[in-house]
Structure 1
């Protein structure tokens, strides 16, 4: 489920760049922030792009996608670990911590 959502979100962000035309540095920087999971900075950069070109649908799509992803992270619905599905095992056998360190938390 999370993997399908991530793929969908990536497609939404990619679709914005496909039809963006020449929207300037703000939009390019916004996508860079979004792809690097910095949704706060992405939202600010998309807002600047919307202000610069309010008639460009790519700026609005990008802002909507970044805002939605930001909400997902803030609510805990999605985490950075969701991006690594299949790359890292969920069940890792770890050795017991040293007894003196474990006692610190007992």
Structure 2
């Protein structure tokens, strides 16, 4: 019976601890090594955009109560910030931001 209920329980994210933390420059180098045309960027953008659209739909739903609206607007803010940070790291090149 417990297995049935665990199927419907939302999955929780777990923090993965690595021996050494990466700084912004290292993250930028790893992202640049993927290449600009790598499919990983399209996949990441698709996942993030879908979650962002879901959150925006929740914010614009007039049936939601105040608590739900504030939660959804927090999701929009967090996902937007995450996406802009990824874009920032993707454009990091040779220690400087690449504006091309």
TM-score, normalised to structure 2's length? Answer: 0.37
Which of the two has higher C-alpha Rg?
1
TM-score, normalised to structure 1's length? Answer: 0.36
